[in-house]
């Protein structure tokens, strides 16, 4: 059943059928009670609408009125027998009819899985009751609106486009560094796949996440590094070549590492939820990222012109994608955004935040230089949540898929927020230095010789040029990284 959808259940009752008693033919049905209940009223809103010529009889002035109405048939002494069971019921008295309908409206309000319980109690003139119960499992899945269908069609196309672009921007010459100096890459790999999955499990355990949210956070912890880490590495003066290389290695390794974690440790969560992630579905989700990434590298290797074109167009393209996901994605998934609770918003981002700190600590323990320490920390903390979205959308069954993406939604939105604070401070410092260089408070001393003055005049444009380059990088980051 789709979210925000209303379904109607019509129950047709024939009074004569109520008297079909296989035990004895001596007793006669004098009334009945039919109920439809949801085990979780937040998921399904059940309302009853009786379409039958009937009249409401208040048999007593008592305020103890039952929530469920009793239907009384026009039989002799029926009221007396009903009162033996219920002292003050609300009765709907039925006229002599051959059949009548009871209509129930069921509206889905929240995505989840719940049970509908149908129960029928038949009252007889010997004060006995016959009861029957039926159970129906209902899964409320995402709404099937046109805008949702368009979004889910465009989403994988854009992810493929971004992956190809990141592959093109990767300079193929840096791949040689994997052979010449593999130590930083190996340490980054250990921080990515040896730290983050277990860190996600620890956070879920400490803060007592539900099995579904625990699995969602575990999926994020198993994801490779994101291309956004390359841009933050540039901003914080890290080794961009190492960052790009680690992103490539972790993404390529995800074909092996993610299924390995999913079908070993991940079974703990999937068993609790009684769901399975199909291996082919997982591989398909990874292929949508890894294969285009490799295709982009091949294109860049074959044509250096395309590399330059993409590099020049990356700013407007990233700005467009940012606006698309921010506006269109928010409109489509607003029903998910409003379900984000403060507890999840405060605890889920601990995964990337602790990843930054512990990833850098691992690099420091292994004796890497400060430039590489920053790079490994950034690479470990910034996960590719796009892969997490793809896996949950196309591998998890509904409604678990739509419920689970709340966690990567929070992580993706809050991962780099501490970096943005540092970015704003850094931006102001750069602008301040530029103003100081253009408007010095003190002139050169008069005793400085002409040679020193000449050298100062030569160095000043170079200083301004470097500051302009830094500002260009900062402006690029403002539109490129979110």
pLDDT digit string (tens) for 90-133? 556 665 556 667 787 888 877 777 888 888 888 787 777 788 88
CA–CA gap between residue 206 and residue 448 (Å, rounded): 66
**What are 404-446's pLDDT values in tens digits?**
888 888 888 888 788 878 777 877 887 888 888 777 554 444 4
- In this structure, the answer to whether residues 165 and 301 fall within a common structural domain is yes
The H or E element containing residue 39 is none
- In this structure, the answer to whether residues 247 and 270 fall within a common structural domain is yes
Which domain does 256 fall in, by range?
146-424
Spatial neighbors of 138 by CB under 8 A, at least 6 apart, are 1, 43, 44, 113, 114, 115, 116
- In this structure, the answer to whether residues 418 and 299 fall within a common structural domain is yes
Owner of token pair 């994020």 = 220
* End position of a domain, from candidates 98, 113, 139: 139
Tell me, yes or no, whether 452 lies in a domain: no
CA–CA gap between residue 402 and residue 142 (Å, rounded): 7
Whether the pTM exceeds 0.75: the reply is no
The pLDDT, as a whole number, for residue 45 is: 80
How many domains are contained in the chain? 2
The pLDDT, as a whole number, for residue 218 is: 93
Q: Average the pLDDT over 375-401 and give the result.
A: 82
Tell me, yes or no, whether 106 lies in a domain: yes
Residue among 330, 329, 355 nearest 229 (CA): 355
How does residue 62 score in pLDDT terms, banded at 50, 70 and 90?
very low
Which domain CATH number covers 338?
1.20.1530.20
Which domain CATH number covers 12?
2.60.40
CA–CA gap between residue 375 and residue 377 (Å, rounded): 5
Residue 72: pLDDT over 60: yes
CA–CA gap between residue 266 and residue 272 (Å, rounded): 10
First-to-last C-alpha distance (Å) of the chain:
35
**What are 321-363's pLDDT values in tens digits?**
767 776 787 788 787 777 788 888 889 999 999 999 999 999 9
- In this structure, the answer to whether residues 48 and 189 fall within a common structural domain is no
**What are 246-298's pLDDT values in tens digits?**
887 888 888 888 888 988 888 888 877 766 666 776 677 677 777 887 888 88
């Amino acid at each position: 059943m789709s979210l925000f959808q209303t379904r109607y259940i019509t129950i047709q009752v024939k009074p004569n059928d109520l008297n079909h008693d296989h035990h004895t033919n001596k007793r006669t049905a004098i009334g009945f009670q039919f109920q439809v209940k949801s085990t979780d009223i937040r998921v399904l809103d059940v309302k009853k609408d009786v379409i039958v010529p009937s009249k409401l009889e208040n048999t007593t002035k008592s305020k103890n009125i039952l929530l469920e109405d009793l239907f009384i048939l026009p039989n002799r002494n029926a009221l007396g027998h009903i009162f033996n069971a219920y002292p003050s019921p609300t009765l709907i008295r039925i006229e002599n009819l051959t059949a009548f309908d009871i209509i129930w409206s069921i509206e889905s309000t929240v995505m989840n899985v719940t049970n509908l319980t149908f129960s029928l109690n038949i009252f007889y003139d010997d004060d006995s009751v016959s009861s029957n119960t039926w159970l129906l499992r209902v899964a409320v899945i995402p709404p099937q609106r046109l805008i949702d269908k368009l979004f889910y069609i465009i989403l994988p196309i854009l992810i493929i486009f971004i992956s190809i672009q990141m592959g093109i921007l990767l300079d193929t010459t840096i791949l040689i560094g994997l052979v010449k100096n593999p130590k930083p890459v190996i340490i980054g790999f250990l921080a990515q796949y040896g730290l983050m999955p277990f860190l996600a499990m620890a956070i879920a355990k400490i803060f007592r996440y539900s099995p579904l949210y625990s699995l969602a956070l575990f999926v994020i912890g198993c994801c490779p590094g994101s291309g956004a880490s390359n841009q933050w590495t540039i901003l914080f003066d890290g080794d961009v070549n190492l960052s790009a290389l680690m992103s490539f290695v972790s993404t390529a390794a995800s074909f092996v590492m993610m299924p390995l974690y999913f079908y070993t440790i991940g079974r703990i969560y999937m068993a609790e939820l009684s769901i399975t992630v199909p291996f082919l579905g997982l591989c398909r989700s990874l292929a949508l990222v890894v294969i285009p990434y490799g295709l982009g590298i091949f294109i860049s290797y074959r044509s250096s012109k395309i590399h330059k074109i993409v590099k020049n167009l990356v700013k407007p393209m990233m700005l467009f994608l940012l606006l698309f996901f921010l506006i269109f994605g928010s409109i489509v998934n607003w029903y998910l955004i409003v379900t984000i609770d403060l507890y999840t918003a405060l605890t889920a981002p601990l995964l990337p935040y602790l990843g930054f700190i512990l990833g850098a600590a691992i690099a420091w323990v292994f004796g890497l230089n400060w430039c590489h320490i920053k790079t490994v920390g950034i690479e470990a903390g910034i996960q590719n949540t796009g892969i997490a979205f793809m896996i949950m959308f196309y591998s998890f069954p509904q409604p678990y898929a739509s419920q689970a993406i709340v966690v990567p939604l929070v992580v993706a939105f809050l991962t780099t927020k501490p970096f943005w604070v540092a970015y704003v401070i850094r931006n102001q410092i750069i602008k301040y230095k530029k103003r100081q260089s253009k408007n010095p408070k003190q002139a050169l001393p008069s005793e400085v010789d002409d040679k020193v003055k000449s050298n100062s005049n030569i160095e000043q444009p170079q200083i301004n040029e470097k500051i302009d380059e830094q500002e260009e990088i900062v402006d690029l980051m403002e539109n490129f990284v979110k």
